[in-house]
Each structure stands twice: as structure tokens, then as C-alpha cells.
Amino acid sequence: MYKSKILWSLAGLAMIAAACGEDFVTVEPKGSFFEENYYANEEQAFSGLVAVYDVLRKNSGGFENMITMLNAGSDDFFAGGGSSSDGNGIHGFDNFTINELTVPRSYFGDFYAGIARANILITKLPETNMDEAKKARFLAEARTLRAFYYFELVNLFGNIPLITAPVATADAYNIEQSTPEEVYAFIESELLASINDLPQTITANIELGRLSQGAAKSILGKAYLYQDKWAEAAAQFADVNGTPGTTSAYGYSLVSDFASLWSINNKFNSESILEVSHTNLSNAGWGNWGGGNDEGNSVNQMVGPRGLNFAAGHTIPTYVSGWSFNPVTLDLRNALLGDPRYEATIFDAPALLAAGELEATPDLPKGYDDADQDTGYFLKKFMPITSETSTGGGNAELNYRQNSYYIRLADTYLMEAEALMHTGNAGRAQQLLTAVRARVGLGAVPVTLEAIYNERRLELAGEGHRFFDLVRTGRTDVLVPYGFVKGKNEILPLPFQDISNTLLEQNPFY
């Protein structure tokens, strides 16, 4: 009897032991996929492509967005915010004390995240089971976006690694820097290879936001321009721009109402070439901010003055109080004064207080709460009014829905005009310049490089172009009073944590 008990027990043990083999300790993921099975069909490939597009929101999404950062680096805006340490990165770029520790890593890493997503998609797409024409378009979009992200990186950081395929973890620390020339050569060849596979225009409303040939050509033209390849630049822009003042072959024309460019009801208008989408539909909360599922426009929240106190019965719309980043310098304010674009560009708090629109209180003698580097002038292009505040879930601060432009037609007009001045075609340059001025009711001025530079500053004020324009044209003297060191501050330092233990060398003088 004892024996049978033992045998019985041992048999039981053996059975349980068998049940607890390899299968028992293997589980499958739920709600996500293994990479080797993914990118199998069009839907998955498109989802992979959307993840590449996601990084475009860097322009105006998240605290560390391109617009407020690049504005702060220019002579047109300060950093601002709550205090001199409210954003070490943006303040460091404003006064050029930025160093490898204070430079925000996201300006480096976010674009590389987009590149990594493009790299894996480009590697996987050939095996995807889908319509070949659509596949070619997906591929062209991924390559164009990747080229664009490299363009942003090479401008921000100068000396960067050029990575065109997925990186194995083991190789992560063995990657070398490329020269800017190598990066530009890659950008050019990628764009040239992709343009024809993109649709000439985007027609279906649901596709608005996807890349067209015009967008890719504009990026290519800009890449040429930044390398002083004037003729090549002018050729690309000429296709995009068409006859100044009319609708181009790609469907672009200047909108008539300058101020409407910043309306939430005028998205993807005829002037828009490379536009970044925002919506309040993602109901983003603080936990999402700056992440992949935050779809709001953060510039909207950041640039308004703090604690606006409107007078009872005020006649202007009720603008939303913000965090007072990017206060306008007196330089820009004075340059724009008298220009028809002043009203749409600058929120003039002293004038509004004087006009009785704002009301002073003992706590708020200026009618608003002045914060760091206050000048009284704020960037109105991105200031929302209360009716535009999201009432959905998440935090209203993070769910503004104004789109932003990387490239719009007035920009490509002026870039072409600039290129043409170098190739000696002042006639068309004059037409382009005049068209930009005429749109806001200004008369023609004789075309010169200076006039074009000046027009760019006023037309595109606060849209994040000024710093790169000054650097690429060698006009950084105006930045020196703000702390700019020539030969050093043209590019940002590479973030400390991204070069530590790697083969990368820090940029000069950082």
C-alpha cells in the first residue's frame, strides 16, 4: 500500500513537471505585434508610414518645438516664459550660452526617431503585399520625410551621422559622423528619386497632410538654396511657384487675406505647401505631451501673455492667456511698425491697455502678468482665442488645433527670388517680391538681396525661419549683441548624452 502511494505521487509529480515545460513559460503579446510579422499588408505599411509623419509635429508640438526654439535664437524674439530657467534649452539658445548639457536632446533624437521609423519601413516595404503604385508612393513619402528630417538635423547640428538603414544594437556606438556635404548629397539624391512617385497634388480631403510633389520640390529647392546652389534651387522653386500672383501648376496661390493664414478654419489653403497637422481630437493630457499621441499645437499655448485681464466690454476677441514664451524684441516690433502685417503678427499689449481693451489691477498693472524678458509684445500669429480652446478631454493647454507651416508659398516665392538674384534673373525676382508685398497691399520696392531678406523677416516673422536665414546668408552680426559667437553658434552643440561613449566629436568650441 505504501508503495502504491509513493508511485502515485511520483507519477503526479512527473506529470506536473511535464506540464511546466517550455510551453508553459511562453506567452504571446496582446495589442502589439512581433516585428517579423509586421508590414505584411497595406494597412500595416500605412500605419508604419504614419509613424514617420508623426515627427513632422516637432515643428509646433510639444514644449520643445522648432518654432519657439528657433524664434528664441533669432533677433526677433526672446525666450521668455516664467523665468530665466523656464526651459534651459530655449534660454540657452536665446542668449547663446547653450551647451552640451542644456541643449534639449529631443531636437536631435526626435528627428532621428523619424529616420529610424523610415529606415525600417523602407527595409520592409519591398516584401509588403500591396498595390505596387501605392507601395511606390509610400516609399517616396518615407524617403522624402527622411530626407527632410536630415535637412533639419544638418541645419541644427551640422555634423551628424548619416544612418540609412536600421541599426543593430551592437553597432549603436560604432557609428561615425558624416560631413554636411555628405548629408546634403543624400538629401538631394533621395528627393530626386522620390518626387515622381508622389502625387502632383493632394485632392482627397482625408489625405490632406500627406506629401505632394510640390512639397518635395520645395524641400529640395530649400536644400539647394542652403548650399548656395542657386540655379538648381531656382529651378525647383519655379515649378512650385509658377507665374507669380497666379495659381501654379501644382495648385498653389497666395491667399488674399494674410491674417487668415493663421485661422483654424483655413487649413491646407492654397498657399500651404508643407503643413503640419494639429487637432484637439486626441484629448492629450500632460502624460502625452510631446509624445507620439499628442496631436495639439503647443506654440499656441506657449506664446500668449500670462494672466490677461480683459476690460469689461472689450471689443477684441478674448485671447487665451499663455505662458509668455517668445516675447517680441523691440527690433522686430519696430521693423514691423506701420506694416500691414503688424496687426496679424504682434499682440501689442501696451496699445491694448491704452485703448481700454485690457484693464490694469494692482496685481497686474500692465493688464497682464509680465514674465521673463517681457517687452509687452507677443506673437499673435499663434495666439488662440477662447472659442478655440478645446472642451474635450485631456488638458485644454495641450489641445489647440491650429496647423503650422514648414513651407508656404510666400516663403518659396522669396526663396526663389533670392536664388534668382544670384543667378542674375532680377526680373522674375522682382515679380516674386512684388507679389508677396501686393498680397498685403504694399507697393513694389526695387528688388535687391537686402529687400528680399527684409521681406522674409516681416512676412515670415515668428514662423521659425529667421535664425537659419541669418546663418546661411552670413548675416549673424545682428545676433552678436545677443551673445552669438561666430564660428560656434551657427550650429547647436550635440547633446552630451548622445555623444558620450560614441565616436562622435562635439561641434567646434562647445
Partner 1 sequence: MKFKKVLFFCISALLLSFIGHAQNISITGRVTDETGLPVPGTTVTVKGTQTASMTDIDGNYQISAPSNATLVFTFIGYQNLEVAVNGRASLDARITSSSENLEEVVVVGYGTQKKSVVTGAISQVKGKDLEGQPVTRIEQTLQGRTSGVYVAANAGQPGSSATVRVRGITTLNNNDPLYVVDGIWVEQSAVQFINQYDIESVEVLKDASASVYGTRAANGVILITTKKGKAGKLTVSYNGFSGFSEESRRVGVLNATQYATLMNERSVNDGGGIIYADPASLGRGTDWQDVIFQNAFRESHDVNISGGTEASRFYASFSLVDQEGIVLPSISRYQRKTIRLNSDHKLSKYITFGQTATYSHEKNLGIGNTNSEFGGPLSSALNLDPLTPLVITDPAVAGQAPYGGANGQNGIFTNQQGQPYGISSLVTNEMANPLAYEASRQGNYGYADNLIGSAFLEIAPIDGLKLRTTAVGKLAYYGSQTFTPEYYFNNGPPGNNDINSLSRSTNTNFFWSVENTATYTKRFMDSHNVSVLLGQGAYVQEGEKGQTTTYRNLPIDSWQDASFNFDIPDPLDRLGSAYRGADKKTSSLFARLTYDYKERYLLQAFVRRDGSTQFGANNKFGNFPSVSAGWVPSKESFWPENNVVTQLKFRGSWGVSGNDQIGSFLYASIINGGYNYTYGSGSNTTIITGSTITTPPNPDLEWEETTKRNIAAEITLFRDLNLTIDLWKSKTTGILGTLPIPGYVGLSSPTANLGEVENKGIDFELGYRKTFGEVSVGLNGNISMFKNKVNTISPSLDFYTLAGVQSLVGEAQRVQVGHSVGAFYGYHHLGVFQNQAEIDAYVGADGSPIQPNAVPGDFKWKDVNADGQIDTDDREFLGKSLPSYTYGLSFNIEYKGFDLNVLGQGAAGNKIFNALRRLELSDSNFQTNALNRWSGEGTSNTYPRLTSEDPNGNFSRSSNFYLEDGDYFRIKTMQLGYSLPTDIIGKAGLTRARIYVMGENLFTFTKYTGFDPEIGGGNSVGIDRGYYPQARSYMLGVNLQF
Q: What angle do CA 350, 90, 477 make, to 5 degrees?
A: 80
**Residue listed under C-alpha cell 499663434:** 382
CA dist., res. 253 & res. 244, Å (int): 8
How far is residue 144's CA from residue 479's CA, in Å, rounded to a whole number?
32
CB of 465 to partner 1, least distance (A): 23
Nearest distance from C-beta of residue 128 to partner 1, angstroms? 13
Nearer of residues 136 and 504 to partner 1, judged by Cβ: 504
Query: Please, which residue, 318 or 334, has the CB nearer to partner 1?
Result: 318
Query: Residue 162 is placed in which grid cell?
Result: 548619416
Report helix, strand or coil for 1.
Answer: coil
CA 37/CA 390 separation, integer angstroms: 39
Contacts of 411 (CB under 8 A, 6+ apart): 273, 405, 456, 459, 460, 465
| Pick 124 or 437: Cβ nearer partner 1 | 124
Q: How far is the CB of 478 from partner 1 (least distance, A)?
A: 22
Pick the closer one to partner 1 by CB: 158 or 221.
158
Rounded CA gap, 222 and 274, in Å? 12
Q: Nearest-5° angle of CA 111, CA 113, CA 115?
A: 75
| Helix intervals (H) in 294-367 | 298-303, 330-336, 342-345, 349-354
Q: Which is nearer to partner 1, 266 or 423 (CB)?
A: 266
Tell how strand 346-348 and strand 404-408 pair up.
unpaired
In angstroms, the CA 180 to CA 162 distance is 9
Q: Which is nearer to partner 1, 112 or 230 (CB)?
A: 112
State the nearest-atom distance from the C-beta of 83 to partner 1, in Å.
Answer: 4
**Grid cell listed for 172:** 549603436
Residue closer to partner 1, measured from CB, 8 or 343? 8
CB of 284 to partner 1, least distance (A): 11
CB atoms within 10 A of CB 173: 11
Q: CB 499 → partner 1: shortest distance, Å?
A: 7
**Which lies closer to partner 1 via its Cβ, residue 246 or residue 387?**
387
By beta-carbon proximity to partner 1, the closer residue of 56 and 195 is 56
Burial class (CB in 10 A: 0-12, 13-18, 19+), 19: exposed
Q: List the one residue out of 144, 119, 277, 138 whose CA is nearest residue 217.
A: 144
CB of 156 to partner 1, least distance (A): 12
Q: 303: which residues sit within 8 A by CB, 6+ positions away? A: 68, 322, 323, 324, 325, 326, 378, 379, 382, 383
CB 166, min distance to partner 1, A: 8
CB of 232 to partner 1, least distance (A): 28
